[in-house]
Structure 1
Amino acid sequence: MEPATTAAITSFAGKALLPLFQKAISKGLSLAWRSGSEEAKTIFQLLKSDDSAKRYCEHAQKILRIRTIFDPDTIHDIPNIYHPLSAKSKKRQAIKIESLSDITGLTEFKKDNIFVNLVGKAGQGKSTSFKYIFGETLKEGNKIPFYFNLRDFGDGTIEEELFKGFIHFVSDIEFSTFTLLLQSKRIVIFLDGFDEVESSKRGYWLKEIEKLSIRYMADILVSSRPDTEICRSVNIENIFLCDLSKQDIFSIIYKNSKNSIASQEYISIVNENKTLEELLVSPILVMLFMSTYHMLDTVPDSVSRFYEEIFICLYKKHDKLDKPGFPREIKSKIVEYDAKDCFSAFCFLSFRKSDYGYSDESMLTYFRSALDLCGFDTKEAESIKVDVVDITNLIVNDGYDRYSYIHRSIQEYYTARYIKGLPDEKKKKFYDKVISSDGSRGSYGKVIEFLSDIDQHFYEKNFILEIFNVTGIVDINSGNYKKPSLSKFRSDLEMIQIDLLVLDDKISANSISYPDNHDFSLLDWFCFNTDEKYDKEFGINDIMNEVSKHDLNYAMKKLEPFLLSDSCDIKKEKNSGVLTSVYRVIDAYELTNALGSVKHLFNLYSSTCKVLYDDICLHTFKKVKSRDEKIRFLDF
């Protein structure tokens, strides 16, 4: 390998990647391999070659380098700026996570069976933490980590998609040998961004990831936002990132600010402002605070205000703070506030297509459409694209004709901002679409959360009250409570699918999900609600918990007629040399009725309906009615 090439891939917080990787490979070859997988050692031997090692280290370095909103011009090694975040599981107290062993220490799994989902809200740092742990796993050298972005997967099986990525490092291997490597216990598979997978494909990929764990006993880490389908799998253990403490905030400021005087100033502001301290619950908000503080007259008092101010701050004054006298030239003839509207339209147009990253040409196409929507000359597309990338840095170019947001929540906020500005009839159509059976609810969750803040009245009237109206527990005209009916609850249960896994003749409840395009149920509330107050109320996880209490093999006699009928979707998964599994998909009513649990679950459901009505619906109804009355009597 050429010295210059080696130097280009050796930066990892002062550590040389190539020696780390080669040492880990040698260690892996010297350790015991799972019985039957020894043939896969040939892959490790091939990975030791200069070309394969170089490709792996280039790949790893790309993963371990990021830009930040506060300093988007610099590519940082993650360990140099990373502050270890705290995480907790349902049964264990929060600890700082700095390694793979910290994560597995929070789980109930045995050390030889790692299957963990790192769960974090938008901007909470899950992807950065995920990548940091990838790097630490490589440094430890006990197992070789392989990182994959789930959104990049095609339409193959999990084995096929992993194999496609793997042959980038070692091309001269057989697929059958690769499957032995999956069983070897000598690698860890990092699957980032389950929440970024298209909602229509998540059910498929959940089953594929579960198969990877069950069939191969592979070590797997997944990352996701809360309330995605993978969070409800009984085979995976969820580890939840915690909100930042004051000391976390200070550490992030110190690690990311190049100026000690500025760091002290930021910290003083946080110390003096309790509301601000309580607001800065995630790393992205600390970064937004640091980026906008010197450019604002007042400190933002809400999360949405941070996002609202960031575009103008960066577009108009980006270099005035760090490089006085050398402001970057704005290419576009569009003034900054109009440019902000165009950027909002750009975000909306691409978000509704589930497009989170762009080529140069697709970015121009979206900007032309955005300019046209906002009434500006489409010839400005190239100029405004350059301004957004080079001046705001809210979208960055990774150097491979691939553009992406500095953080996905930027796209979500400005999508919400664009929706807010639409005519009322268009906004109503949007909310109707989200509530209806078109499968949009999951992907629009964060957008709706932003709308609840920036367009509160319309959101409450046309989303919150409409939800309760559709679910049938309120008279929308009087606001009076209507007791839920057993027939409505049954129809809700019938929409929910439970995967029963038959493995070695033992039946277990594997995961729970809704089919695509299902009608709205009150149970969907828990996909939107972020208030921890309702975590203990009834939700779809209670259905799985109830099912899991029973011996499903014992109940097989009741279930067998249905399971053997044409109405049960049976999916067989087979692979020579490893475990054979059969998935049987059954609706939740059929299963819970066979287990005699419907009445118990209905009572839980009914009590939660009343709690939600008392805490949310009634208050919202009175507030909306009062505002509408006041507006109706306005005179000009």
Structure 2
Amino acid sequence: MDDFTTTAMSVLITEVTKRATSAVLDRNWLPELEQGKRLLQQLLDSYAQEQFTSKYVTKILKIRTLHSPESDVYLNEIYTPLTLRASGDGGGDFELRVKDDKTIEHSGIVNIVGIAGQGKSTVMRKLFWEELKKSKRIPFFIELRKVETTIFEYLKETLKNIGIMASDDDISFLLQSKRIVLMLDGFDEIRLDYRPKILKEITDILNLRYQCPIITSSRPDTEICREVGVNSYTVQPLDVEDVCHLLIKLNANNKPVELVDLVRNNEYLQQTLVTPILVNLLFVSYPYLDSVPESVPDFYSKLFMTLFQRHDKIKNYTRERKSNYPDEKINDVFNSFCFNSLNKGDSDFTSRTLNKYITSSLDLETLDSSEPQLVWSDIIDITCLLQQDGYDRYLFLHKSIQEFHAAQFLADCRHERKVSIYSQILDKIDIDHKWDNVINFLSKVDENDFSEMFLIKKCQSIDLNHINTNKETVLSNAMSKILDNKYISISYNSDNGALMFNGRDYLQSFTFISTFNLIEKGNRNLIEEVEKPVEDSIRRLNEIMSGIDNSMKSEDLIEKILSISKDRVNSAMAGERKLEIPLEPFLQLLGFYDVLKKVVYSYLMSYYRGVYKPKARQLEVAERILDLEFRIS
């Protein structure tokens, strides 16, 4: 970033921030929310304004990228518009192109959903900037992985850091004012055991109690994606024009534009380059590649060594190194480091934790581990796949970098260790989704062992291999796994006899079906046919209560609902109780249990025939070939 750009952007950000603050304060505020307005008025102070602009807004709008590893770039220098798709109120889908002057003005909770590397955080930062420019609301951007207590406390601490002193009441009134919007980035990066607490704060406290507009982001199939009342906006894959536009943006240093022509004339590349991270990886590594990558895993597999050796390919350039290990060994150490840190749930490091992880990885590779800092310094300085972000804080360029190299570590493990690790992942994969993208990579880079040690074993864990000979037992066990600990939430008002649906658990969440989808399709997207019997049972409940369905009296339905409900919780409203009802008896009561059973059987047979059987047959053939090849004569 040159000095002129830095100065120009600094002036622009300052002016936009001042204008937004003044405009929001000039709007009509309800008298009872005046305390929240007084909090924002502190931003008119010159010191607070400067701190807000330099320490907060500017930091959000600056990005460190692979193509600019040694200096920050402003968002607008590299951003190319991305498209979000959502369901409209009338049931049809609509698309939103996130570009200049576009914001999401939804008053509830919007969740931006995207796969690894699809640009969720970048879209959030773009929306942050456009909110400021629009000057109707002040946006507050929070990376959820940094929240250690509550979002409320984190916001309070953020304001304190820019010189704004606020009490809890001040912030409560500000949240209720509808003059701010919370942008909560990376729900999937919250620790699994901490997510329920944060989700409850987002839905019940921040949005329901304070009615504060919220925009979140997440990978697919996290808890917030399934929450009732949360509107999902899905990031769409890049098309060829998006790819070319991004490449031109990245071409600020006048690198050869031949890459754009290559993409336009290569249909396979167009099908592969569906996320911004892949376009960035191609742009940076292309000048040093011996061949164009042929798949997504091929992009990642070439990346480390290409970047680590790129200076060697520049004529008359002598690369400076701090460590003296062979390049391949450094690559192995990086793979081990990625697996170990991912397994521990770490993606944010200090020099101390880097030393710990790299020492462990060097020991594993039987290398001298007395100076681990030399190794991680080389990884940071040469590859830029791990980057410094402020004082003594280091991050992966992108989460998918850690995930791919973790997969590569497992693929390279000796047989006994690999069997053990696959088995441990299998035990947790239904409920712990941190391995999802690793599984996607393993299905490509470790295809045979992945099929034998993971895919086949997962199918056998529910006895899918016996479905033709023991149908009823297999189906009964599958139904138990699907319905175990699944509830529907209903409010019952004893004063007027009203029943109201509040929410429900999804059948496929944290079950083998979700994992089966991951194995087959690379995602955990819900299968509508499996969820439909539950939706139909809720519809029938509403029809009985409204008198449309006369097959059961409403008072009889209420009596039976009360008899099967569990964990009754008193509501804040007089005469109202919130009922938690196990889904299995609920479906039986409304007549949809057998319907679900047929749907599950159909799904299991389809998976058996389409996934399990072909893969099992393929492994049998491979085993016979190996027996013939290595038979001693």
TM-score by length of 1: 0.87
| Aligned mate of 2:226, from 221, 232, 235 | 232
Equivalent-residue separation in structure 1 for 2:404 and 2:311 (angstroms): 20
Equivalent-residue separation in structure 1 for 2:50 and 2:507 (angstroms): 44
The 1:387–1:402 alpha-carbon spacing in structure 2 relative to 1, beyond 3 Å, is same
> SS of the residue aligned with 2:458?
helix
1:139 aligns with 2:139: no
What is the match of residue 44 of structure 1? 40
**Identity fraction in percent:** 27
What is the match of residue 63 of structure 2? 66
1:521 aligns with 2:512: yes
1:290 aligns with 2:291: no
| Aligned mate of 1:624, from 609, 619, 624 | 619
Larger relative helix fraction? 2
1:173 aligns with 2:175: no
Q: Which has the higher contact order (CA 8 A, sep 6+)?
A: 1
Equivalent-residue separation in structure 1 for 2:564 and 2:214 (angstroms): 34
What is the match of residue 483 of structure 2? 494
> SS of the residue aligned with 1:247?
helix
Equivalent-residue separation in structure 1 for 2:429 and 2:578 (angstroms): 26
The 1:511–1:536 alpha-carbon spacing in structure 2 relative to 1, beyond 3 Å, is closer
1:357 aligns with 2:348: yes
- 1:408-427 to 2 correspondence within 5 Å? 408-427=399-418
Structure 1 counterpart of 2:236, one-letter code: C
Q: Is the 8 A contact 1:496 1:587 kept in 2?
A: yes
1:549 aligns with 2:542: no
> SS of the residue aligned with 1:217?
coil
What is the match of residue 4 of structure 1? none
What is the match of residue 178 of structure 2? 185
User: How many residues were matched structurally?
Assistant: 607
> SS of the residue aligned with 1:508?
strand
- Cα deviation, residue 220, structure 1: 0.4
Equivalent-residue separation in structure 2 for 1:537 and 1:527 (angstroms): 15
What is the match of residue 443 of structure 1? 434
What is the match of residue 431 of structure 1? 422
Greater mean alpha carbon deviation, residues 283-292 or residues 92-101: 92-101
Q: Is the 8 A contact 2:140 2:183 kept in 1?
A: yes
Structure 2 counterpart of 1:168, one-letter code: N
- 1:299-310 to 2 correspondence within 5 Å? 299-310=292-303
1:218 aligns with 2:212: yes
What is the match of residue 549 of structure 2? none
Q: Is the 8 A contact 2:336 2:406 kept in 1?
A: yes
Equivalent-residue separation in structure 2 for 1:415 and 1:124 (angstroms): 20
Q: Is the 8 A contact 1:332 1:384 kept in 2?
A: yes
Structure 2 counterpart of 1:374, one-letter code: E
What is the match of residue 236 of structure 2? 242
What is the match of residue 386 of structure 1? 377
- Cα deviation, residue 99, structure 1: 6.1
What is the match of residue 587 of structure 2? 592
What is the match of residue 27 of structure 2? 31
- Cα deviation, residue 475, structure 1: 2.8
Equivalent-residue separation in structure 1 for 2:335 and 2:435 (angstroms): 15
| Aligned mate of 2:455, from 447, 451, 464 | 464
Structure 1 counterpart of 2:273, one-letter code: L
- Cα deviation, residue 89, structure 1: 1.6
Structure 2 counterpart of 1:96, one-letter code: R
Q: Is the 8 A contact 2:508 2:514 kept in 1?
A: no
Q: Is the 8 A contact 1:468 1:617 kept in 2?
A: yes
1:603 aligns with 2:598: yes
What is the match of residue 92 of structure 1? 93
Structure 1 counterpart of 2:24, one-letter code: G
Greater mean alpha carbon deviation, residues 437-446 or residues 203-212: 437-446
| Aligned mate of 2:445, from 418, 440, 454 | 454
1:614 aligns with 2:609: yes
- Cα deviation, residue 288, structure 1: 1.1
The 1:494–1:136 alpha-carbon spacing in structure 2 relative to 1, beyond 3 Å, is same
Equivalent-residue separation in structure 2 for 1:592 and 1:50 (angstroms): 62
Looking at CA atoms only, which structure, 1 or 2, has the larger radius of gyration? Answer: 2
Q: Is the 8 A contact 1:115 1:235 kept in 2?
A: yes
Please give the per-residue CA displacement for 1:76-109, whole angstroms capped at 9, x wherever unaligned.
10111100011212432434212685545xxxxx
TM-score by length of 2: 0.87
**Aligned-residue CA RMSD (Å):** 3.2
Equivalent-residue separation in structure 2 for 1:426 and 1:580 (angstroms): 59
Equivalent-residue separation in structure 1 for 2:207 and 2:431 (angstroms): 29
Greater mean alpha carbon deviation, residues 179-188 or residues 41-50: 41-50
